Amino acid sequence: MAPNFDPSRGVVFDLAEGRIELSDGDPYLMVPVAALSALAAGQTDARGLGRAIGGKVALRVAKRLAMPIGRSGTMPPSATLGAALRQASIETLVELLGGELAVLGLGSLRVERWGKAMIFVLDPCGVDARADELVLGVIEGMLSSATDREVSAAVVDRSGKTARVLVGNPRAIAFAVERSRDGTFFTDIVRALHGPGLDSSGHEREGGV
């Protein structure tokens, strides 16, 4: 007689590491079906998939904060998602956003402050450098939804299983990407953003880059 399927420990969530494992021991990610289908159909790319995931993350965090959600799944005009999330402390947001990312298998999140710059650190990161576009999309999607403005991101450091993602406006991030491609260490990139050539908003100063 064939054995019955035993689902016990078929899926293991390691929230401290932000890792999902099936019985084969390999890591897996949880992805919205609609977003994955769009990728399979060629209607989006890895970054677009990430942004869809990140937007859902922000929405779930808003629900956890007991904010009013409209029937469509979005915040009503009188209480936008960004305004609602901005009422929470940065510690609360990092805790909730990090918890959501961990449940998805994307890793363990913390935030580093470097002057006015903010770096989101996945340590460990649930995916390797081949999926950096996906990671960037997730960070951009959840922060753009949370702040009601366009947020750009760039991986500025990959050390072992750790990924550091700098967030900011498109001009500052374009500067960071250029320096990162030149091999500039991430601390020097952050220092340059605060230096005389380029301010932390990514605007050139007189005599700068």
Contact 50, 134 (CB under 8 A): yes
Contact 27, 126 (CB under 8 A): yes
Q: Mean pLDDT over residues 171-198, rounded? A: 88
**Record: fold of 11-193:** Muramoyl-pentapeptide Carboxypeptidase; domain 2 (3.30.1380)
pLDDT of amino acid 66: 63
Q: What is the mean pLDDT of the chain?
A: 86
* 124 prior amide bond cis, ω within 30: yes
Distance CA 22, CA 89 (A): 35
Distance CA 87, CA 89 (A): 7
The highest-confidence range among 2-16, 69-83, 121-135, by mean pLDDT, is 121-135
**SS3 assignment, position 62:** helix
Residue 67's pLDDT band, with cuts at 50, 70 and 90, is low
Contact 180, 152 (CB under 8 A): no
Q: What is the pTM of this model?
A: 0.84
